[in-house]
């Protein structure tokens, strides 16, 4: 029975990845930032330590990993973080440099398989070059994160990347990240949507994909996973329904140009505060006029992703947001 290291095993994605690994007979070791969401979050057989792996010395990291065969990188900063300017520097230091170092140390420790949790914005930076997403800090550094990890693995470690879309599910002791969106809609008479849509998965499917990539992934391959494609209007309507505002809140589809001044103002106010979005709002919202869809068939059989009730998972997630 081989042992797998999960970075961030008490986080949303890491927790389900740990559960999936255990269900498939792997031993699991993890380190995660304190505090624990709940005292009994992980089973006793999981070797769990609390702390910041980036504060460990190289020798300490190699010692931590020496009895493991796989490494799943379920950590990092996503596009919802709005850092101090320049955002390019923030995401480089948050996502690229730690990944490069840990991939190098993992290879030196004898790790054979290394899986990075990335973003589907890297996928659409390649598919939709007309948006020039490579000039935006978040997708730029997600692409760079993959490349440095691939390069570090050359010769002896298979490195793959999962490009993750919208993810739904809940974890004990933590508030779903989607609460920030239900809070925005609460008590609003109108909440407009742009005409595009997004790919969606459940957190269980992310975990299945992670284990599948570790077991069957090919070096330097990226896997943009999806289980369901939905319009933004449909998703917003589900949030309205979860809030009990079906009769009081409308979700019209509007033209981007109608909303553009609002997005420009958000960018301007961020700049006034010395902040910068990883994707400027005028860019990220323009992207929402596209159907950011992915074909589930491209990855489900390769990675062993199972069918789940995605809409039910969304409903349960939103119900948890409203309850909190």
The per-residue pLDDT for 82 is: 96
- Hey, what are 31's tokens? 């380190």
DSSP for 93-133, please give it.
IIIIHHHHHHHHHHHHTT--EEEEEEEHHHHHHHH-GGG-G
- pTM of the prediction? 0.97
Domain 3-168+200-225+295-305 has CATH 3.40.50.720: yes
Q: What digits encode the pLDDT tens for the residues 94-103?
A: 999 999 999 9
User: How far is the C-alpha of 75 from the C-alpha of 52, rounded, in Å?
Assistant: 11
Q: Where are the domains of the chain?
A: 3-168+200-225+295-305
Q: Which of 260, 268, 251 is nearest to 286 (CA)?
A: 260
The per-residue pLDDT for 1 is: 62
> How many C-beta neighbours within 10 Å does residue 23 have?
11
Q: What is the helix (H) or strand (E) element at residue 50, kind and residue range?
A: strand 47-50
The per-residue pLDDT for 324 is: 85
Q: What digits encode the pLDDT tens for the residues 198-231?
A: 999 999 999 999 999 999 999 999 999 999 999 9
State which residues of the chain have pLDDT below 50: none
The per-residue pLDDT for 161 is: 98
Q: Which of 134, 126, 137 is nearest to 82 (CA)?
A: 137
- Hey, what are 244's tokens? 């009990």
């Amino acid at each position: 029975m081989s042992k797998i290291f999960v970075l961030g095993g008490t986080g949303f994605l890491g927790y389900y990845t740990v559960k999936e690994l255990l269900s498939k007979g792997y031993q699991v070791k993890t380190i995660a930032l304190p505090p624990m969401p709940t005292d009994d979050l992980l089973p006793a057989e999981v070797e769990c330590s609390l702390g910041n792996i980036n504060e460990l010395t190289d020798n300490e990291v190699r010692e931590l990993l020496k009895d493991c065969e796989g490494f799943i990188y379920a950590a990092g900063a996503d596009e919802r973080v709005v850092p101090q300017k320049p955002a390019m520097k923030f995401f480089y230091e948050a996502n690229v440099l730690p990944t490069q170092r840990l991939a190098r140390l993992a290879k030196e420790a004898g790790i054979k398989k290394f899986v990075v949790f990335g973003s589907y914005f890297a996928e659409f930076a390649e598919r939709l070059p007309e948006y020039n997403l490579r000039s935006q800090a978040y997708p730029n550094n997600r692409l760079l994160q993959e490349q440095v990890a691939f390069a570090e693995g050359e010769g002896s470690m298979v490195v793959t990347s999962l490009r993750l879309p919208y993810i739904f599910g809940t974890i004990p002791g933590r508030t779903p990240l989607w609460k920030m969106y239900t809070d925005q809609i609460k008590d609003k008479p109108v909440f407009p949507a742009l005409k595009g849509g997004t790919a969606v998965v459940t957190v269980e499917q992310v975990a299945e994909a992670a284990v599948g990539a570790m077991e069957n992934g090919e070096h330097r391959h990226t896997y943009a996973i999806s289980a369901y494609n939905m319009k933004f209007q449909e998703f917003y309507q589900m949030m309205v329904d979860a809030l009990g505002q079906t009769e009081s809140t409308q979700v019209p589809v509007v033209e981007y140009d109608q909303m553009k001044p609002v997005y420009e103002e958000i960018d301007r106010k961020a700049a006034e505060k010395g902040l910068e979005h990883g994707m400027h709002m005028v860019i990220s919202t323009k992207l929402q006029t596209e159907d950011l869809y992915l074909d589930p068939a491209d990855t489900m059989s390769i990675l062993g992703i199972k069918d789940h009730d995605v809409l039910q998972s969304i409903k349960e997630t939103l119900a948890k947001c409203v309850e909190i």
